Amino acid sequence: MKKIIFVYLLSALCFSLAITQVNGAQKGMKIEKTANATETITLGGGCFWCTEAIFAEVKGVEKVVSGYAGGSVADPTYKDVCTGQTGHAEVVQITFNPAVISLKKIIQIFFATHDPTTLNRQGADVGTQYRSIIFYRSKQQKEIIEQVINELKNAKVYKNNLVTEVVPFQAFYQAEDYHQNYFQRNATEAYCRIVINPKLEKLRKVYRDNLKK
């Protein structure tokens, strides 16, 4: 009888340990999934060299890729987009960790580092490919974007009306290799010194707490 009871207790203990291990593994998987979760947003704020350089410095941003979006031509080249006939805008596709930086903060940085009131233009860069545009991927993203825009309007941050397009994401085409990490590779060139550097200086002053070390 004692032997039967011992076997029963041993079986029960093994079963309990197995359940604990399974639950522990499930919790571990859940934590790992949450820690590794990322989100993607696509932004166009004029020349993608500028926008890429800005978000490359933002803490929580894991990847920034320059490319084209918003047009009707598949796999366009830079030369195609420069004609203004493809409908594409120069954009950056940003992959970020929302546990480190929120989408709202990214959108705020986006608006603070370009002029969203000039139609199809950023400084000397003129054409529809330089338009201010945001491509959202979900209803929640759209709501956050619209919230930031309404806050800017209510605060009367800009004297002129915002012309930024907010449209659903459809496709992104990566730009040629020589466009990627452009500022980091060409920081001494005139465009980088005259156009990009002032944007980075503003970013580092206003959003220094959100920058990578």
Q: Which residues are catalytic?
A: 47
Phi, psi angle pair for 103, to nearest 5°: -60, -35
- Whole-angstrom CA distances from 53 to 60, 138, 157, 185, 186 are 15, 26, 24, 11, 11
Q: Are strands 61-69 and 89-96 parallel, antiparallel or unpaired?
A: antiparallel
> Burial letters for 16-49: b for 16+ Cβ neighbours within 10 Å, e otherwise?
eeeeeeeeeeeeeeeeeeeeeeebbbbbbbbbbb
Q: What is the largest CA-CA distance in the chain?
A: 93
Question: 135 CB contacts (<8 Å, ≥6 apart)?
Answer: 41, 42, 43, 44, 69, 70, 91, 167, 168, 169, 170, 172
Radius of gyration of the chain (CA): 24
